[in-house]
Structure 1
Amino acid sequence: MRRFLPLLLVWVLGTGAVLASLARSPWWWTVAVPLLAAACLGGRDLLQRRRPVLRNHPLVGRLRYRPERAAVRRGPAGAREPSGDGVGVRAVPVRVAHGPDDEYLVSSLRPVEASEEPPSVRVGGPGCTRPYDMALLNVSAMSFGALSARAVLALSRGAELGRFAQDTGEGGLSEHHLRGGGDLVWEIGTGYFGCRDADGGFDAREFADKAALPEVRCVSLKLSQGASPGTGGVLPGVKVSAEIARERKVPAGETVVSPAAHREFATPRELVLFVARLRELAGGKPTGFKLCVGSRQEFLAVCRAMVAEGVAPDFVVVDGSEGGTGAAPAGLAGHLGMRLTEGLITVHNALTGVGLRGGVRIGASGGVATGADIVRRLAQGADYTNAARSMMRALG
């Protein structure tokens, strides 16, 4: 397989250098020894069981272990970051300033003591009857199908142990999400997987039945995502097993292309009314939508529709164009929509401007891995954050 080619190449070159040193010149040992050492290191990577990345990508997988990834790995292992002054963890003022080269968090000479209780934010506006206390860091949207059953189950169990939420992704609400026992944010995409009728439209009855499950704490309507706004996701046919086909109500073995837009609404007013309908069908659970902001005018039009209809979502999750996915056309990834910083500020200011910010929580999704990332996003207008890549790195 291709991922083992670097190790195979090192073995072949090392063996050739040894033969050359025996047959031609002892100077070849200066080449052979480093190559054989690298080959032995790659063999160790291949046989060890602690780090799946190294086992699947011997030698080259070591290039991935940088400081940020090391911090992510230490978290699941139960290690704690030491504080610089040795007197314990302290709260950082939520403000970002800009220096000549980069932005930085503003420190204080009198920081306040952090609470021992993990912080959370209550999600649920005036139209919500069953609010939910959201952790400041949660599992971002990753679908069953894009991830394996074991990975989905592991994330669900991690969410239960860590007391945070897991977004199901748009691939449907599978038994693997439910088995782990963690709190779930059920994401509904343009394909309506998990609540899809025979024609590919929205099935209200099936949605209501699944939304009533106790594990489902919130419902998120996906308008777009960071790496592929304006395009539908693609799940290759080779990954569409019988189980995935059953969950999504699509033919097994055939490539699944999600529509670019929703069929249930077309205007800003229809969007906010559909969100209200989902909240009613979900029994009053917090309901919102996710998007990667493109046009400021379009989002302002949605805000005006909220005011005109007297209906607002309980939350808005802002995805940044730097978000990653394997479901987007390669030529578009990272080139459509605003970066997360600009998108967050746009959404926060727009909701504030129409007087709705107090009842609508904002989630931030894109490149969150450390505590500093969380504080930075809170400073830019978010109430909580979601992470995908750091969670996958924690899994290996």
Structure 2
Amino acid sequence: MENVINFLSELAWYWYLVVFIILVALYDLFNRKHIILRNFPVVGHIRYWLESIGPELRQYIVANNREELPFNRIERGWIYASAKNENNYEGFGTDRDIHSHQYIFVNNAMMPFKVEEDHISKRKPEFVPCAKVIGASKNRKRPYRPASVINISAMSYGSLSAKAVDAMNQGAKKVNAYHNTGEGGLSPYHKRGADVVFHFGTGYFGVRDKEGNFSMEHMKKLVADNPQIRAIEVKLSQGAKPGKGGVLPGSKISKEISEIRNVPMGKDVLSPPTHSAFDGIQGLIEFVEDIARETGLPVGIKAAIGKLAQWEQLADIMQATGKGPDFITVDGGEGGTGAAPPSFADHVSLPWVHGFADLYQVFNKRGMANDIVFIASGKLGFPAKAAMAFSMGADVINVAREAMIAIGCIQAQACHNNTCPTGIATQNKWLQRGIVVPEKADRLASYFTKFNKELLEITHASGYEHPCQFNMEDVDISLGDMNLTQTLEHTYRYRKTPVDYIGLSKMENCPYLGGK
């Protein structure tokens, strides 16, 4: 009798399954939205399921090691190994096509830079500070020398989770790097000890009044209450979507985000494409100078590069008056950790290497290159690419997605839909639970340390002590066809202005050095 009951029980499950399939089939037959489901009931769902896991299939099964974008498996693997303090070497030679178009060659010296036993890099192998002091040329009250040439780029709390921001800030503190807040305001998770660059855009989050306008009083109070803020960055545009505003849906505004951003709960908040606090180039310069005077901090601007006419106008006014931004962050069009329309992400603004070359020349030909600190942002979180950036005139590297990968990002490309499986780019509390903050902080610190160490080793191989000494003849780039390879100077038709370099040992005792 018991066997009969068990048999009938099992049979009932089959009937449940049959009924379920029939219901799905009926639903599909009358579906007006999807042709595949209407024509192929039930089995059509397999197609949509395979499509939904397509990125994962390509990432782990289909694509080869050098094929994926934005970051291929070899690039991610180097970051992961560096972050985990594992062996990040490779054996049996390179598997790159070294004859491919745009391939980078760093020209090593016949005799490398000799590192004496008492050299600072023996004692502090990761110590690679910025060669310039931000704000020194304009006599700001609180100049700032970043203690690391690699730092965390602008990613806001809101686009990233609380635990991700927390881990990044704690990791940056361990290696004396700075942490750019992104335009979401200064959160409690940016206050874990690292130097901070406070960044704001057209929404003025964190420094806005009740009407949404920029408030100098809010800015002054923010800086006075948070001495870890070492510089201020005004976002004009960003690589992923330059010239486009955004909307923060009311459904995503928690009580904490409401307080941090100074926005009401339950109401959509608009970030317009343009600033309301100033008009035109002259207005921008006055705005920058007002903030610098009221806060005492260096003030810079961030932008993706396209047309140059207004940059020429900015440089002319700065040259005539001695006023204007202390630093310029150049964002490449290939960047972007958040959401952007494909038409913008794919086509609007120049990639970093072209945009930076154009912008640097604007100031270089006026003899102003050493008056500005140039911060480079656009997939440069790899030592050889950083060497190229320094050769072209960059002073500091900002990394965003590389920092995300260091703390566990798997490039799921789900940043825009709040379903990031690693909990890094989502506000889903359950997904965030996977992030163990102290462990991820150590991973970020290890990645930055390995980056600085390897960049310094490439620098020494080229005969220099510091990467700021790279020049345009130190890197060749493959142009393809009969041009073969040419120096950066030949390719981009300008010569970098040499940096006034004082030596690593003197930088250690600089009163404006970050991380103190």
TM-score normalised over the length of structure 1: 0.77
Q: Secondary structure at the match of 2:344?
A: coil
State the Cα distance separating 1:83 from its structure 2 match.
9.7
Q: Secondary structure at the match of 1:201?
A: coil
Q: Distance in 2 between matches of 1:82 and 1:323?
A: 27
Aligned counterpart in structure 2 of residue 79 of structure 1, from 75, 86, 97: 86
Q: Secondary structure at the match of 1:307?
A: helix
Q: Distance in 2 between matches of 1:126 and 1:148?
A: 37
RMSD: 2.5
Aligned counterpart in structure 2 of residue 120 of structure 1, from 129, 133, 136: 129
Unaligned runs of 5+ in 1: 1-56, 85-97
2:138, 2:322 within 8 Å by CA — same for their partners in 1? no
Q: Distance in 1 between matches of 2:253 and 2:341?
A: 18
For 1:337, give the aligned amino acid: S
State the Cα distance separating 1:100 from its structure 2 match.
6.9
- 1:144-180: CA deviations, max 9, x gaps? 11111111111100110121111000110111111x2
Aligned runs of 1:49-60 on 2, under 5 Å? none
Matched residue, 2:438: none
Aligned runs of 1:81-230 on 2, under 5 Å? 81=88, 101-104=101-104, 105-113=106-114, 115-116=121-122, 117=124, 118-121=127-130, 122-124=133-135, 125-134=137-146, 135-178=148-191, 180-212=192-224, 213-230=226-243
State the Cα distance separating 1:58 from its structure 2 match.
7.9
- Would the alpha carbon gap of residues 378 and 368 (structure 1) be closer, same or farther in structure 2, given more than 3 Å must change? same
1:233, 1:327 within 8 Å by CA — same for their partners in 2? no
Q: Secondary structure at the match of 2:302?
A: strand
2:376, 2:389 within 8 Å by CA — same for their partners in 1? yes
1:356 aligns with 2:368: yes
Aligned runs of 1:208-357 on 2, under 5 Å? 208-212=220-224, 213-283=226-296, 285-357=297-369
2:202, 2:271 within 8 Å by CA — same for their partners in 1? yes
For 2:113, give the aligned amino acid: V
For 1:145, give the aligned amino acid: G
- 1:271-294: CA deviations, max 9, x gaps? 1111111111222x2211100011
Matched residue, 2:379: 367
1:232, 1:257 within 8 Å by CA — same for their partners in 2? yes
Structure (1 or 2) with the larger CA radius of gyration: 2
Q: Distance in 1 between matches of 2:284 and 2:56?
A: 48
For 1:232, give the aligned amino acid: G
For 2:317, give the aligned amino acid: A
Q: Distance in 2 between matches of 1:141 and 1:234?
A: 18
1:236, 1:255 within 8 Å by CA — same for their partners in 2? yes
Q: Distance in 1 between matches of 2:287 and 2:87?
A: 44
More contact order relative to length (CA 8 Å, sep ≥ 6): 2
State the Cα distance separating 1:132 from its structure 2 match.
1.5
Q: Distance in 2 between matches of 1:351 and 1:288?
A: 15
1:137, 1:374 within 8 Å by CA — same for their partners in 2? no
State the Cα distance separating 1:127 from its structure 2 match.
3.1
- 1:102-133: CA deviations, max 9, x gaps? 24222222221463441111322223232222
2:250, 2:267 within 8 Å by CA — same for their partners in 1? yes
For 1:77, give the aligned amino acid: K
2:380, 2:399 within 8 Å by CA — same for their partners in 1? yes
1:374, 1:385 within 8 Å by CA — same for their partners in 2? yes
Q: Distance in 2 between matches of 1:168 and 1:126?
A: 24
1:70 aligns with 2:77: yes
Q: Secondary structure at the match of 1:166?
A: strand
Q: Secondary structure at the match of 1:334?
A: helix
State the Cα distance separating 1:297 from its structure 2 match.
1.1
Unaligned runs of 5+ in 2: 1-54, 62-67, 92-97, 116-120, 409-516
1:269, 1:306 within 8 Å by CA — same for their partners in 2? no
1:384 aligns with 2:396: yes
Q: Distance in 2 between matches of 1:339 and 1:153?
A: 30
Q: Distance in 2 between matches of 1:103 and 1:268?
A: 37
Q: Distance in 1 between matches of 2:128 and 2:300?
A: 21
2:138, 2:323 within 8 Å by CA — same for their partners in 1? no
State the Cα distance separating 1:183 from its structure 2 match.
0.7
State the Cα distance separating 1:368 from its structure 2 match.
1.9
1:157, 1:182 within 8 Å by CA — same for their partners in 2? yes
Seq. identity, %: 36
- Would the alpha carbon gap of residues 75 and 380 (structure 1) be closer, same or farther in structure 2, given more than 3 Å must change? same
For 1:249, give the aligned amino acid: N
State the Cα distance separating 1:60 from its structure 2 match.
7.0
1:168, 1:185 within 8 Å by CA — same for their partners in 2? yes
